[in-house]
Amino acid sequence: MATTIEPAAQRYVDELAAVWAERKGVLGWLTTVDHKRIGIMYFFTSLAMFACGGVEAMLIRTQLIGPNGHVLSPAAYDEVFTMHGITMIFLFVIPMTTGAFGNYLLPLMIGARDMAFPRMNALSYWIYLGSGIFMYFALATGHAPNAGWFDYVPLASKQYDPGNNIDFYGYGLIFNGIASTMTSINIIVTVFKLRAPGMSLNRMPLFCYAFIAASVALLFALPVLSLACVFLELDRELGFQFYVAAKGGDPLLWQNLFWIFGHPEVYIIILPAFGIATAIIPTFTERKMVFFPLVALSEILVAFLGFGVWVHHMFTVGFATATYIYYAAASLIITIPSAVQLFAWITTILTGTPRFKTPMLWIIGFIVYFILGGLSGITLAAIPFDTQVHDSYYVVAHFHLVIFGAAVFPILGGMYFWFPKLTGRMYHERLGKLSFWLTFLGTFVLFMPMHIVGILGMPRRNYTYPAHVGWTLLNFIETIGGYITAAGLVLVVLNLAHSMRHGEPSGNDPWGGDTLEWSTTSPPPPYNYPVIPTVSSPYAMWDTEDRERDNRRLARGEGLLPVGHRTPTSTAQDADIDEIASMPSSSPWPPLVALSLFGVFAMLLLDHYWIVVGFLAVLLLTVLGWHQGAAAHARAHEVVPAPETGTPHE
Amino acid sequence: MSDAAGLPRRVSGRPPASSGHRRGAQPNGMWGMALFLCSEVTVFGSLFGTYYYLDFRVRHWPPDGIAAPKVTLAAISTAIIMLTVPTMYAAVRSARRGGRHGALGWVLLSMLLQAAFLGLQVAIFRSDLMQFSPRGSAYGSIYFTLLAAHDAHVIIGLALDIGVLWNLWRHGVERYWLLGVRGLALYWYVIDVLAVIVLFVTLTPSL
Amino acid sequence: MRKRSWWRPRAWRFGAAALVCIGLTGCSRQSILSDHSKVTHDIGLLWWWMLGAAVIVFFGAVLLLVVAFLKRRVPGLPILGEREPVAQGMVLVFGIAVPLVALVVLFAFSDVYLENVTAAPAADTTSMTIDVIGHQWWWEVRYDGGRAITANEIHIPVRTRVNVVVTTADVIHSFWVPALNGKIDMIPGRRNHELLDASQPGVYRGQCSQYCGLQHAHMAFLVYAQPMAKFRAWLANQERPAINPTGAAAIRGKADFMNDQCASCHLIAGTQAQGYIGPALTHLATRSTLASNTIPNTPTWLARWIHDPQAIKPGDRMPDLGIPPRQIRDIVAYLDELK
């Protein structure tokens, strides 16, 4: 039941609207710190990156449609498949989940008015955009990274890759990692400290658990990659010997560091998808999630256990059998929390009354592909089998099923699900269903044959293959599947783009949603909630008494915080109210800091080390300006401590 | 029922914190600094892991021709920077009481100790560079990178010191800069502990 | 009778194989299921069991989703009703108990038993050792510590435990002959090893399977498993220095070979050509393919290769040397005599 605004309450709402109004025009977007605007910017940028990665995929599949293809030269192919991996992982899926979905939805779901660090939020977006431009500048100038998205040395060393292709990779990933680190810090503090008073941890939606798990994992995984890239650049640019076997270094050091990051990364990719699924399933089955605490625990366990399995990417490098057996065991154990979640979802659907609208269809597709990809993953933990199919198309099939089938399907479902909330309009349902079935079918035709062609011995990262080895027909089928998938995805975009202008008005809550964001207007006002919501369970929208209480409080003008940009903060576990914090409204400093950081990395790439120092000085000045501005803002808006006395909330 | 500001009262039923002392939650800024430090500690953890990974792969560590690092100067410099743990703690206590000059003084003292540490570290660095190069071996690469990483964090810390000092002097201990002093103190506690671990790791061949 | 054979692996294998072959135009020349050694036989069996279990799990879950669709207007479970503990019990059984049992069984068989069977052989359990060194983008093969050096083609005696020791001269490669064993990586500074033990004579295709640069796709090789006598004869021949040319064109070709830059990169044992940058050519005429199994070893193809290697393998290390056609014909005549 939505929070409706009665005439008596209108003047309070008008006061809030005046205080929280966003600046208009391009300058408004450039200086915004509002989580919804930042989420939208993340969304469109990562969607554009998805399109780039998709074009790269289509080029790969077209090159491989038959043997001895001539669509791409070997050098071009190597750049295209490397950029495909880098784009999809670092420039699409992580920013889309944590940056777009996370930023937009988390404050709304926890009843807050913004993220904990709004300016740092903006900064993370501008840095992300800068890193995307940095990497694609490489492709545009014909110097894109070309040693694969995991960039093994010595192939990526200066000796075997003398141009600056790999430097775009090394510096670019460090640059990109700064944005993701900031986003993960922001998400963790927001979800722990900014929940509406009363939303103790056991009343927090599962979506939030998934995002916390992903963010904590990201915080601890990214530094390892950044360090590996620092070693790489030190070796390449200054002649250090970290990865040089002849001088006491070890190429496997790169592999170990990379995969210590790389394996948690794949759980970071899929956890937000789990979160989206756990938001959609209760709504469309009209039933609470089965075994909520176990599902929340499983989400956390997956993130935690994911740090202990990375050597399963290295089963063929010649380590001791005992080492391999340990990591295989760990890799199999991690199946359990995933299986728990899977059966919780299936049981919820089975015991509820499911409505198979477009968002729900994407979740069904996600479940199907998650099972398939998970099963092939289990087979890969059987070491003798892995030694046969490692680095073949069987592995390509596995990870595409779990990344595309299982991580991207909920993203697409989530796009349909929250489209009415963001735009106030409904999409075309039949076109939506068609877009799903086309993508689902295309995914099957594209990736299932890859299992077979891998078992038939086709290695990965080959720019072509000979005729008469037995791979031709399967590759042809896969390419057709690729085109079908592309058609489905284009249909998704066309459906939503057209519906933005011409869709039917949706109202606040077209689905009967269970989480708080469905109580606001569509789209939400800049201040999100006129009244800080009362919460008694993880399914806040289904607690009609609480929503009616909020309506009455609105009419009385209670809980509005209309002076300045204010939102309450609360304690981490029980969400007891802590203090009323004052949020910044807009700031020019984030894009300026991002710009100077871009200068630092660009000059590092070009080996102009003295100019790097210059840009570092500019960076220092912009950071100082930021803090002076922040301090002045804090001085002007006194923070109000929480009321000291009170009886427990009724 | 709600209170005067219209906000719900405490849920947990626990008694409220006494006035004047920080209530049940750390400020968001402290959470942010703590999480940032988790990231930096992970960087150092990976550096330590790299050191031992390369160490255990070979029989001779350091490689023949490179002397094991000398203990004395490194230990003295580490002891100096460890003194900044109590001095930064004193700075925070002064700041909490609103004592602007006390806070200024303790932060300034800390800064001098940190600068002394850095000076000694630079001397050790230069003397080592004259004997062996980071380009000559993996040992040299990890040894110098590990020390440089820690020194870089000290340099950044000194810049943060200057920022905090300047603002304490201009604006006194206002809310934003109390948080600044607390955050800075947390930063230095972690950097100081890391200094000890860096000492032990780099001195592994000499122990 | 029918009931007993129902659960035997062979029935599953044939059934699934039939399904698989329907979608293919004949079998692959590099399939991991082609079963020519005990190791690949065991791994193949493991695969069919895992596939069978996966099929059951997958279709079981799909069945649940279909049931959910069919009964979508009625909450709760058919027969079992709407009680929450029943739903929770399902999660515990299918999410924890059943997977735990299945995974323990899989682990015990594949990672404990089979891994020990398929792991790298102890040195004293093999009868001979071959060194294979990976290069961008060809394979150097050495027998007897270098008494015989060849490239891109490995001969082994059948039903003999052969220890293949692999390393690399440049970047990471990976040695993989799917018909005979899993792959083993070739890493700078490491000497890894694995077992080749062919149970039948035949020719088996292998390919590099760690991305190693521009021509990674064209870095294949052949393994010939031969009866012991034939193998010994082949090896003895490989250990001899190169034959002196007899034909007039071949004699001219040898002189051209030594005077043009060929000798600086290639080895022809017993001559001035002592280069180790490219593959050894001492007995080139005994090999069936050229350019790492990219083109057949015929005079026409060899001439094309010498004339313009970049057209066949763009980015390859062998440059266009600008040798005139007449010299190429003579060089080809010479190389054709190097049996």
Kindly report the nearest CA distance between residue A65 and chain B, in angstroms: 43
Identity of the residue in B31, B134, B140 whose CB atom sits nearest the CB atom of A189 = B31
Contact C34, C27 (CB under 8 A): yes
Q: Which residues contact A304 (CB under 8 A, 6 or more apart)?
A: A217
Per-residue b/e over A501-538, b at no fewer than 16 CB within 10 Å? Answer: eebeebebbbbebbbbbbbbbbebbbbbbbbbbbbbbb
Contact A387, A318 (CB under 8 A): no
Interface A-B: count of C-beta contacts within 8 A? 196
Q: Say which residue the tokens 């075994």 belong to.
A: A291
- End-to-end Cα spacing for chain C: 57
A239 vs B contacts (CB less than 8 Å): 135
- Which CATH number covers residue B200? 1.20.120.80
Evaluate whether residue B57 is within a structural domain. Answer: no
CA distance A472 to C276: 36
pLDDT band with cut points at 50, 70 and 90 for residue B6: low
Evaluate whether residue B10 is within a structural domain. Answer: no
Residue A460 is predicted with a pLDDT of: 97
Evaluate whether residue B164 is within a structural domain. Answer: yes
Tell me, yes or no, if A219 comes closer than 8 A to chain B by beta carbon: yes
Residue C27 is predicted with a pLDDT of: 56
Q: State mean pLDDT over A489-497.
A: 97
Contact A457, C208 (CB under 8 A): no
State pLDDT tens for residues B47-76: 999 999 999 999 899 999 999 999 999 999
User: Which residue of A lies nearest to C311 if distances are taken between CA atoms?
Assistant: A73
Q: Please state, as a whole number, how many other Cβ atoms lie within 10 Å of the Cβ of residue B120.
A: 17
State pLDDT tens for residues A632-650: 888 777 666 655 433 333 2
Contact A13, A557 (CB under 8 A): no
CA distance C154 to C163: 12
Identity of the residue in A219, A556, A576 whose CB atom sits nearest the CB atom of B10 = A576
Tell me, yes or no, if A241 comes closer than 8 A to chain B by beta carbon: yes
Of the ranges A9-13, A285-289, A603-607, B133-137, which one carries the lowest mean pLDDT score? A9-13
CA distance A557 to A531: 8
State pLDDT tens for residues A481-490: 999 999 999 9
Residue B25 is predicted with a pLDDT of: 82
Percent of all residues in chain A with a pLDDT value above 90, rounded to a whole number = 85
pLDDT, mean over chain B: 89
Percent of all residues in chain A with a pLDDT value above 70, rounded to a whole number = 97
Q: Which residues contact B51 (CB under 8 A, 6 or more apart)?
A: B142, B143, B146, B201, B202, B204
Residue A650 is predicted with a pLDDT of: 26
Percent of all residues in chain B with a pLDDT value above 70, rounded to a whole number = 88
- Distance, C-alpha A96 to centroid of its chain: 4
Count structural domains, chain B.
1
Identify the domain containing residue B152 by its residue range. Answer: 71-206
ipTM exceeding 0.90, yes/no: yes
User: Which residue of B lies nearest to A228 if distances are taken between CA atoms?
Assistant: B46
Q: State mean pLDDT over B169-179.
A: 85
pLDDT score of A627 more than 80: yes
Mean pLDDT split into 10-residue runs, chain C, 339 residues? 45 53 55 92 94 96 94 84 88 95 93 80 89 97 94 97 96 97 96 96 97 97 97 97 95 94 94 95 96 96 97 94 94 96
Task: Give me the residues of A, 601-630, that contact B with CB < 8 A.
Answer: 620, 624, 627, 630
Q: Kindly list the distances between the CA atom of residue B89 and the CA atoms of B96, B111, B175, B187, in Å, as whole numbers in the listed order.
A: 11, 13, 18, 12
Residue C17 is predicted with a pLDDT of: 52
Q: Which amino acid is at C332?
A: V
Q: State mean pLDDT over A215-222.
A: 98
Query: Is pLDDT larger for residue A89 or for residue C113?
Result: A89
Identity of the residue in A120, A242, A558 whose CB atom sits nearest the CB atom of B6 = A558
Identity of the residue in A73, A339, A470 whose CB atom sits nearest the CB atom of C29 = A470
Q: State mean pLDDT over A226-234.
A: 98
Residue B16 is predicted with a pLDDT of: 46
Question: Would the CB atoms of B43 and A227 count as touching at under 8 Å?
Answer: yes
Task: Give me the residues of C, 226-255, that contact A with CB < 8 A.
Answer: none
Identity of the residue in A318, A352, A378 whose CB atom sits nearest the CB atom of C190 = A318
Q: State mean pLDDT over A126-133.
A: 98
Residue C12 is predicted with a pLDDT of: 53
Question: Would the CB atoms of B47 and A244 count as touching at under 8 Å?
Answer: no
State pLDDT tens for residues A16-48: 888 888 888 999 999 999 999 999 999 999 999
Evaluate whether residue B46 is within a structural domain. Answer: no
pLDDT, mean over chain A: 94
Residue C113 is predicted with a pLDDT of: 82
Residue A554 is predicted with a pLDDT of: 87
Evaluate whether residue B149 is within a structural domain. Answer: yes
pLDDT score of A1 more than 50: no
* 8-state DSSP, A345: H
Residue C1 is predicted with a pLDDT of: 40
Evaluate whether residue B33 is within a structural domain. Answer: no
Helix residue spans in C7-138 (DSSP H): 9-22, 38-70, 84-92, 98-106, 115-118
CA distance C300 to C296: 9
State pLDDT tens for residues A197-212: 889 999 999 999 999 9
Is the CA virtual torsion A471, A472, A474, A480 positive or negative? positive
CA distance C236 to C232: 6
The first and second tokens of residue B23, run together, are 């209530």
pLDDT band with cut points at 50, 70 and 90 for residue A400: very high
Cis upstream peptide for A154 (omega within 30°): yes
Residue A437 is predicted with a pLDDT of: 98
C207 vs A contacts (CB less than 8 Å): 457, 459
Q: Which amino acid is at A446?
A: L
Best B28, B38, B160, B177 member to test A by mutation, with max A CBs in 10 Å, is B28
Residue C23 is predicted with a pLDDT of: 44
Residue A578 is predicted with a pLDDT of: 85
Identity of the residue in A318, A391, A455 whose CB atom sits nearest the CB atom of C192 = A318
Residue spans of beta strands (DSSP E) within A440-541 = none
Evaluate whether residue B151 is within a structural domain. Answer: yes
Kindly report the nearest CA distance between residue A117 and chain C, in angstroms: 38
C176 vs A contacts (CB less than 8 Å): 459
Task: Give me the residues of A, 481-510, that contact B with CB < 8 A.
Answer: none
Tell me, yes or no, if C192 comes closer than 8 A to chain A by beta carbon: yes
Residue C4 is predicted with a pLDDT of: 44
A346 vs C contacts (CB less than 8 Å): 61, 64-65, 68
State pLDDT tens for residues A281-333: 999 999 999 999 999 999 999 999 999 999 999 999 999 999 999 999 999 99
Question: Would the CB atoms of B6 and A559 count as touching at under 8 Å?
Answer: yes
Evaluate whether residue B100 is within a structural domain. Answer: yes
pLDDT band with cut points at 50, 70 and 90 for residue B23: low
Residue A344 is predicted with a pLDDT of: 96
pTM: 0.94
Best A577, A640, A645 member to test B by mutation, with max B CBs in 10 Å, is A577
Tell me, yes or no, if C110 comes closer than 8 A to chain A by beta carbon: yes
